Homo-oligomer: A and B are copies of this chain.
Amino acid sequence: MTPIRNNQSDGDAVLDAVRDCVLAVGVRRTTLTDVARRAGVSRMTLYRRWPDVRSLVGDLMTREWVDVAAGAIPEHRPDTTARERLVEGLVAGVGSFRAHPLFRKIVDVDPELLLTYVLDRRGASQNALLELLADGLKEGHADGSVRTGHLERQARSLLLIVQSFTLSLRTMTDEDDADLSSAAFLTELRDILERTLTP
Q: How many copies of this chain does the complex contain?
A: 2
Q: Nearest chain-B residue to A162 (Cβ)?
A: B164
Of A25-33, A60-68, A117-125, the segment with at least 4 beta carbons within 8 Å of chain B is A117-125
Partner pick for A118 among B156, B160, B171, CB 8 A cutoff: B171
User: With A118-B171, A160-B164, A163-B164 given, is the CB distance from A153 to B184 under 8 Å?
Assistant: yes
* B171 and A120 within 8 A (CB): yes
* A119 and B195 within 8 A (CB): no
* B121 and A111 within 8 A (CB): no
Q: Does A99 contact B (CB under 8 A)?
A: no
Enumerate chain A interface residues (CB-CB to B < 8 A): 107, 111-112, 114-115, 117-122, 126, 149-150, 152-154, 156-157, 159-161, 163-165, 167-172, 179-180, 184-185, 188-189, 191-192, 195-196, 198
